[in-house]
Amino acid sequence: MFIETKMHAPHLRGAMVERTRLIGMLETATAGKLAIVSSPAGFGKSTLLAQWAVTAAATGSVAWLSLDAQDNDLARFLKYLTATLHRADPSIAVSALSLIESSPITPVESILTGLINDLSRASDPIYLVLDDAHLITSSEIAVFLNSLVAYAPPALRIVLATRAELPVELIGMRMKGHVVNLSDSELRFSLDETDHYLREICRLDLPTSGVVALHHKTEGWPAGLQLVSLALAHEGSKQAFIADFSGSQRDVADFLAHEVLARQSADVQDFLLRTSILERFNLGLVQAVCPDHDFARMLGVVERSNLFLIALDSVGHWFRYHHLFSDFLRGKLDGWSEAKRAGLHRKASAWLSANGYISDAVGHALAAGDKDFAASLVEECATPIVMQGHMPLVTEWLNRLPPELIAARPRLLLTRVWAHFHMGRSREAVRVLKQAKTLIVELAERGDISAPVIRSLQAELKTLTTGVVSAADWPRMATRLAARWLADFPEGEPFAQGTLCNIRAFAHFSLGELDASRLSALKARDHHTVASSIFGVVYSDLILGLVELSAGNLQQAHDLLARAMRMAREGLGANSYSEAMSAIIQVELLYEWNDLHNAERLLHQHRSVIEECGLVVHEMACKLHLARIAAANGRHDEA
């Protein structure tokens, strides 16, 4: 007796996200012998295939088989396979069931030959869908599938949905163009699909900011969004729920615990928990934190099993886990002793620092409690981090270091000034700036720092002093200081020189002196290009965009801001502070052009970054834009 539901596609609900693009990709893929849909749990493989099957049935027949662990019995597998093909086309496998049941040994060759011959006579396509194919571990079934794919006549199109690597030799077939792999990167919901799912299908009354936040946190993971929607339906404060949502949220944690972690062996679970402390990792780093594991084999198992592993480069050297999966694993890791967790972080910090990944090592040194080592690491990498505008990161590091350690190191004091300056905290910046000046003089008098270091520190002191004056709303004094110090600025300090030019440019802009501002910003851009400071170049373009905006050259302003956003995104990754600065001004342009939908979308994409680490002027602009867009859309109470 057959379980009928195994041979039917999942029932489709009335309201669904239409994956038109992906269905089109499947239609193209199924023109060949084999198509593969591979992704971690909850990415909607089965639902996508069920949607596609509706359209495929218009041009051919669909034979569906949902596999389970019991199907690793060869006879059982062949019974279901031939049965579903027979139901799709009654002329196929007419006597297969009786042949299998009457033979003392499963007649694999006879079944294969009969299927190939029957399928050869079919004129219309027959699509064989094997769902959850990762559950098949039998080598006999693997050999059968290999043969079926190899000898498949033109009418047979095989589609496999899997969470893990298949027991089918695909490399040669891929070269022949028979295999198309739709991975989790294609299956993720886009922002528009997330918006449609939450608002239209789940009927959740969410602001754009809430939709953007959930899309970012789930990374478009369909199952994660479904779990979120179920929880939100019973939440009184949706905003608070979204702000606190993570992989440790009960429904998400239960899903990952039962559907993912519980299915893994004990050694794989241990490997996942150990590596969860890492924001990103490669083989060397994995070996450092998992010395007792066959680390290369384990990483291969995780990759083949589609355990929410995301490749960060095209050659597969660096990886990370999906954010929600990482949150979940770290929640499980909290059950370990503090000493054991600190040991993992200490190993990670040692490997990262020894291999030149200094900024990555800092967080692990702090987590391990190695304050002195962490302070030395921050000193070493602070300037490059500041040059790329990662102010929240250095601020977090400094806040976790003992004040007495910072007070004894001029580089750390100046890093604190940079952070205060970029956050618009002029009073705090002045206090720490004085402290840094005094310390540098004392160390120089004692001969504890070299002449080149003194010259570099003094160059930063001049730049930061001018910046603090400008931030205190004294633009005229700032332009005079900048002009005086730029005339005799130390050689070999392009970042400090470029920043001083940017400060001068913004001060001129504040005074309405657009030509002088444009000239200073262009000079700043040249210096920052030499320094390889993406943040500095982006800030120069931002000022140039503001100048053109004030001059009424809206298209030029748009082009400059778009260039700045593109450069920030390509050089620093999505949602950086650098990109957000330019985006907030771009919102104003979109508003002026009455493109309210894209203006609001762009604003909410970058709002959290601006509110967390932006200058006061950017935060004020953000709130003003929120009010203006809400009013323009008729949401007067919100405005």
Confidence grade of residue 160 (pLDDT, cut at 50, 70, 90):
confident
Could you read off the pLDDT of 399-431 as tens digits, one per residue?
A: 889 999 999 999 999 999 998 887 778 889 899
**What's residue 173's pLDDT?**
45
Where do the domains of the chain lie, and which CATH numbers do they carry?
4-187 (3.40.50.300), 191-245 (no CATH), 544-639 (1.25.40.10)
Percent helix, percent strand, percent coil in the chain, to nearest 5: 65, 5, 25
Confidence grade of residue 639 (pLDDT, cut at 50, 70, 90):
low
- CA pair distance 81, 147, nearest whole angstrom: 14
SS3 assignment, position 179 = strand
Q: CA 587, 590, 594: angle at the middle one, nearest 5?
A: 135
Residue in 163, 162, 167, 218 with CA at minimum distance from that of residue 189: 218
Could you read off the pLDDT of 105-156 as tens digits, one per residue?
A: 888 899 999 999 999 999 899 999 998 888 888 888 888 888 888 888 999 9
- CA pair distance 293, 290, nearest whole angstrom: 6
**What's residue 175's pLDDT?**
46
The burial class, CB within 10 Å (0-12 / 13-18 / 19+), for 513 is middle
Q: Quick check: 556 and 546 in contact, CB under 8 A?
A: no
* pLDDT average, residue stretch 555-562: 93
Residue in 523, 516, 477, 518 with CA at minimum distance from that of residue 500: 523
Q: Quote the mean pLDDT of the chain.
A: 86
**What's residue 117's pLDDT?**
93
Pick the residue with more confidence: 90 or 161?
A: 90
The burial class, CB within 10 Å (0-12 / 13-18 / 19+), for 186 is middle
Token pair for residue 429?
């910046």
Find residue 261's DSSP bridge partners. none
**What's residue 128's pLDDT?**
94
Could you read off the pLDDT of 326-378 as tens digits, one per residue?
A: 888 999 999 999 999 999 999 999 999 999 888 889 999 999 999 999 999 99
Termini Cα distance of the chain: 64
Pick the residue with more confidence: 93 or 255?
A: 93
**What's residue 271's pLDDT?**
94
Using left for φ > 0, alpha for ψ between -120 and 50, and beta otherwise, residue 211 falls in alpha
Q: Is the pLDDT of residue 506 over 90?
A: yes
Q: CA 162, 271, 254: angle at the middle one, nearest 5?
A: 60
Q: What is the pTM of this model?
A: 0.67
DSSP state of 197: I
Could you read off the pLDDT of 517-541 as tens digits, one per residue?
A: 999 999 999 999 999 999 999 999 9
* pLDDT average, residue stretch 175-196: 74
SS3 assignment, position 291 = coil
Could you read off the pLDDT of 310-333 as tens digits, one per residue?
A: 877 767 788 888 888 888 899 999
**What's residue 345's pLDDT?**
96
* pLDDT average, residue stretch 93-97: 88
